[in-house]
Amino acid sequence: MTLPHNKGQFRLRPSQELFVDHIDHAVVSRFESPRSSRPCEFCQELDPQFRDRHPLDQMVAGSRKAIASAHLTEDGYVRHRMLELRRMASRAPLTAA
């Protein structure tokens, strides 16, 4: 916190420390604000427990397709991938004939 000093200058109290949050710009660019996100259509369609998920786990970045890496959280990503794998495993195997 700053205190007014003479002639419009500011100085910190000696007992106070400054804390600066580290922001990794690679993470910031990958994960957008929840305000610009939307529910994942893929998960919404295939996951019967989609409504029970934490709200952020349901969301994908608004500017990206509904793919696993677009999820805002790691849990959302993992659940999306599990649905993809379950879908692939349920398909009939291709035959060479």
- Using pLDDT thresholds of 50, 70 and 90, give the confidence band for residue 45: very high
Contact assessment for residue 39 and residue 58, using Cβ atoms and an 8 Å cutoff: yes
Is the full-model pTM beyond 0.95? Answer: no
Q: Give a yes or no: residue 6 inside a domain.
A: no
pLDDT tens readout for residues 48-78: 999 999 999 999 988 888 899 999 999 999 9
Instruction: Specify the number of domains making up the chain.
Output: 1
User: Which H helix or E strand runs over 78?
Assistant: helix 74-90
pLDDT tens readout for residues 8-35: 555 656 555 555 555 555 555 555 455 6
Q: Give a yes or no: residue 46 inside a domain.
A: yes
Containing domain of residue 28, as a range? 23-89
Give Cα 95 to chain centroid, integer Å: 39
Q: Give a yes or no: residue 73 inside a domain.
A: yes
Encoded tokens for 28: 């910031």
In 3-state terms the chain splits into helix, strand, coil percentages (rounded to 5) of 45, 15, 40
- Using pLDDT thresholds of 50, 70 and 90, give the confidence band for residue 95: confident
Q: How many CA atoms lie within 13 A of 57 on its CB side?
A: 14
